[in-house]
Structure 1
Amino acid sequence: MGTTSPARRHADMEAPPVSSGMLRNVLREVPTAVTVVTATTGDRPAGLTVGSFVSVSLDPPLIGIFVDEKSSSWPEMRNSATFTVNVLSGDQQELCARFAASGRDKFAGLPLQKSPLGNPLLPGIAAWLDCRVVEVRKLGDHHFALARVAGLGTTAATTSIVFHRGTLHAIP
């Protein structure tokens, strides 16, 4: 039988319940990177805006993304063995909105290049990371994809975007 430490029992007894709204209000104070994750599914590109992108490990090089379980794009991307993280530059708010929306061809009219792993690289991005999926698991109301970085690069973009206090901001 497992036992709970006295410190853990104490913290559990005194902690007030945390609602999703309370958590969202506090997390608004933490700037987050804004990325578009792309993959090739079958013979067509797929992509979605991801605001929860994290560095997991430098050695080995691992990153993670968190995708809302309600995403309409994730089901077609979920089983892909690779994806590419496109780090948006400071002037790409429209591209962020385009890939956050559902129900349309997000790639229409975009001049695309392919990453070394064959996924779409978006024009004008600040940086990119080509990734091989290690594991995907459901955590709460999100799916977490852990991936090993297989290639990466930066561009001439001078700014990137962060999401802070409910709005997008360009940072130098």
Structure 2
Amino acid sequence: MTDTLADRTTGDLPGTAVAADRFRKTLAVHASGVVVITAQSGGTPAGLTATSFSSVSLEPPLVSFYVDRASTTWPQLSAADHFAVNILASDQADLAARFARKGVDRFAPPTRWRPGPLGAPLLDDVSAHLVCLPYETAVVGDHLLVVGLVTDAGVHHPGRPLLYHQGRFGRFLAHPDGRS
């Protein structure tokens, strides 16, 4: 008996897109780091939680994240001339949840922040931050790919990162012998 793609995907036709619910369920097993993207436009800070952050290039130094095209925060972020990537520490799940919520002032207490070198909000107590100039934006499906040129970076608390896995925030635990 041969193992075909159709057999392995339990009925999905080869060459067709998988159903959204199946795709989402499958991606949930992939753990990702958590960041908060912040910017300031017209004197008003804006920010959102992202789990799609990635490095892109060392020369030039580029990073990226995706944002839903229906995001109500994106118009404010995109109007800014730069943005910050705040890499969250393992104890900042509440902060990540706050910046993912709608209808709240994300920068009001208990959120603590300060203006960065170009004015974008830098969140306090994060593992690290990157300040970026917009480099490229592209429509990719129902999301926007945002690429930023890193102009400043700093490591503050290099401890354990905040992770997102199966719809929940969690912590990284190293393998006891340091290997995978």
Fold equivalence (TM over 0.5): yes
Structure 2 length-normalised TM: 0.83
State the partner residue of 2:146.
145
Partners of 1:112 and 1:17 lie apart in 2 by: 42
State the partner residue of 2:101.
101
Q: What is the CA distance between 1:45 and its match in structure 2?
A: 0.8
- For the residue of structure 2 that corresponds to 1:75, the secondary structure is helix
Q: What is the CA distance between 1:112 and its match in structure 2?
A: 1.7
State the partner residue of 1:10.
none
Q: What is the CA distance between 1:157 and its match in structure 2?
A: 5.0
Conservation of the 8 A alpha-carbon contact between 1:65 and 1:145: yes
State the partner residue of 2:37.
37
What amino acid maps onto 2:63 in structure 1?
A: I
Q: What is the CA distance between 1:30 and its match in structure 2?
A: 1.5
The 5-angstrom pairing of residues 9-88 of structure 1 reads 14-88=14-88
- For the residue of structure 2 that corresponds to 1:21, the secondary structure is helix
- For the residue of structure 2 that corresponds to 1:153, the secondary structure is strand
State the partner residue of 1:156.
157
Identity of aligned residues (%): 37
Greater displacement, 70-79 / 13-22: 13-22
Conservation of the 8 A alpha-carbon contact between 1:73 and 1:102: no
Partners of 1:17 and 1:156 lie apart in 2 by: 41
Structure 1 unaligned spans of 5+: 1-12
What amino acid maps onto 2:52 in structure 1?
A: S
Greater displacement, 101-110 / 122-131: 101-110
Conservation of the 8 A alpha-carbon contact between 1:124 and 1:157: no
Partners of 2:42 and 2:131 lie apart in 1 by: 18
Structure 2 unaligned spans of 5+: 1-12, 174-180
Q: What is the CA distance between 1:21 and its match in structure 2?
A: 1.4
State the partner residue of 1:89.
89
Runs of 4+ in 1 over 2 A off after TM superposition: 13-17
User: What is the count of residue pairs matched by the alignment?
Assistant: 160
Partners of 1:14 and 1:103 lie apart in 2 by: 42
Partners of 1:168 and 1:111 lie apart in 2 by: 20
State the partner residue of 1:135.
136
Conservation of the 8 A alpha-carbon contact between 1:30 and 1:164: yes
Greater displacement, 107-116 / 32-41: 107-116
Conservation of the 8 A alpha-carbon contact between 1:88 and 1:160: yes
Partners of 1:14 and 1:143 lie apart in 2 by: 27
